[in-house]
Amino acid sequence: MSDILLELKGLTKIFTDDAGTAEVLRSVDLKVPEKEFLCILGPSGCGKTTLLRCIAGFETFTGSVLIDGQPRTQPGTDRIMVFQDFNQLFPWKTVEKNIQYPLRLSGIKDKAELKRRSDEAIAKVQLTGWEHYYPYQLSGGMKQRVAIAKALALKPRIILMDEPFAALDAMTRRDLQKEMLRILGEEESTVIFITHNIQEAIFLGTRILVLQPGGEIVYDEPNTLPKPVTPASDEYGRLWGTLNAALYSRSQG
């Protein structure tokens, strides 16, 4: 049995603004073992992004976020977030410099070491040769690869991905899903991956969780379908049906 890397205990998030208060996450408990690829599905507005932002240390909250049993309330290089937005790169920095920037912030000063780390990450996402290009010269899919390379280069304990492929066309999305499986087969990282797409969760996840408003966990099971997952099986159809029912369980009214 693997060790627990991330633990949420009674994680509660209340937003207060002029319109009033909203309890977006209500006492969420969750344990994520090392090397798990946890996919989280949930309807729009149920609190998925908020959950990731609390784990990343971008939001205040009550309850606890523990990494290796130690509380985290601020951002740190042990957790990194990859967003849906294609514009998460600095437009004035090249691919290489975008990837090296967080490495510099983490304290790496040696130029050869920075180059080695960025080259390695660029190769993992198959962008060798594009080091000196700027974001505006890249397609949406390539920009997302750079964002993933940036995360990989830091070698965080946990990568938090908020619908990173949602804005891509279906073919590019499939390609990047396959690459994620390949890359993560070689990596030590643990991933929490948010998606609206049931196929994507089944294809990528080693465990799948469905959230409903308030951060209520209505489904949480290991994904036992052998990888690479092919849709042409009874097991796939059954799992898809179960997840679809859990996802839409609160939408009839």
Residues forming the site for ligand ATP (CB under 6 A): 15, 17, 22, 24, 42, 44-50
Name the DSSP letter for residue 226.
P
Question: Min. distance of Cβ 214 from ligand ATP in angstroms?
Answer: 10
Give me 104's structure tokens: 């510099």
Query: What φ, ψ does residue 179 adopt, rounded to 5°?
Result: -65, -35
Q: Is the dihedral of CA 241, 243, 246, 247 positive or negative?
A: negative
Which partner in ligand ATP, Mg ion, none is near 44 (CB below 5 to 8 A by kind)? ligand ATP
Cβ atoms of 164 and 81 within 8 Å: the answer is no
Residue 23 or 120 having the CB closest to ligand ATP: 23
Which partner in Mg ion, ligand ATP, none is near 123 (CB below 5 to 8 A by kind)? none
When asked if residue 49 is in the footprint of Mg ion (CB under 5 A), the reply is yes
Query: Per CB under 5 A, which region of 47-55, 64-72, 91-99, 218-226 contacts Mg ion?
Result: 47-55
- The residue nearest Mg ion at its CB is 49
Burial 158-168 (b: 16+ CB within 10 A, else e): bbbbbbbbeeb
Query: Per CB under 5 A, which region of 32-40, 45-53, 92-100, 115-123 contacts Mg ion?
Result: 45-53
Query: Per CB under 5 A, which region of 2-10, 27-35, 49-57, 132-140 contacts Mg ion?
Result: 49-57
CA distance 126 to 141: 12
How many chain residues interact with Mg ion (CB under 5 A)?
A: 1
Which partner in Mg ion, ligand ATP, none is near 47 (CB below 5 to 8 A by kind)? ligand ATP
Residue 49 or 223 having the CB closest to Mg ion: 49
Three-state SS annotation for 130-184? CCCCCHHHCCHHHHHHHHHHHHHHHCCCEEEEECCCCCCCHHHHHHHHHHHHHHH
Question: Min. distance of Cβ 29 from ligand ATP in angstroms?
Answer: 18
CA distance 143 to 129: 14
Question: Min. distance of Cβ 8 from ligand ATP in angstroms?
Answer: 15
Residue 49 or 212 having the CB closest to Mg ion: 49
Question: Min. distance of Cβ 216 from ligand ATP in angstroms?
Answer: 12
What number of H helices and E strands is found in the chain?
A: 7, 10
Residues that bind Mg ion (CB under 5 A): 49
